[in-house]
Amino acid sequence: MSEARPTTAQLTYAPPTEPYLPVLHSDGDLLVISKPSGLLSVPGRGPALADCVASRAAALHPGALIVHRLDMDTSGVMVLARNRQAQGHLGRQFEQRQIGKTYVARVWGTITANAGNIDAPLICDWPNRPRQIIDPLHGKSAQTAWQVMDREANATRIHLMPKTGRSHQLRVHMLSIGHPILGDNLYAHPEALTAADRLQLHAQSLSLTHPSTGDEITFADVCPF
């Protein structure tokens, strides 16, 4: 999902340094990493928020370019381009919704149905940004498919398959059906917030077309929770 950039007033930023920037795959076009929870995808405003995937990748893998973002507290698979041509190719795949994305989440409460779809347009809640809200009149189209993996005592583990890539889409959509993601400091109620020590959202897999070979490739990352 796309990432709203926090300000120093909104958080005390202390990104993890271990692991620093784990690499899942690297070739002449692609750099696929496992983004740690707590690390920005791109720099925020000011030097205190400069440490991010983009800066770490540029230092360790010169020429690496951002293609998409994950929320700061989301972990998991993230792909970067190794050159401008690959960046353009991957960017078009994201724009045309040709990228397959699967997330794992743990949400509050027991979901009784086994699967479903959420179709709820999203827009920024400007007085309370970076929060997003559902707005049927002015929001941008947003769709998420979900499927139950396992049910716990007072939580449900699910797969989330976003069909669009709006900011905070998965977090707001799960809140909208009464099951906020555990550990979500923007959308969870107090009990759901304190039920986990981090946002329980992980980008498990990403499927794309290789910019040079045309092969369909899927990259996966083990869920840490």
Q: Which domains does the chain have, with CATH numbers?
A: 103-201 (3.30.2350.10)
Q: What is the pTM of this model?
A: 0.93
* Cross-strand partners of 79: 32
pLDDT of 109 strictly over 50 = yes
State whether residue 157 is helix, strand or coil: strand
Catalytic sites, residue numbers: 71
First-to-last C-alpha distance (Å) of the chain: 19
pLDDT band at 11 (very low <50, low <70, confident <90, very high): low
Per residue in 124-139, pLDDT tens? 999 999 999 999 999 9
Per residue in 58-89, pLDDT tens? 999 999 999 999 999 999 999 999 999 999 99
pLDDT for the residue numbered 7: 42
* Cross-strand partners of 220: 205
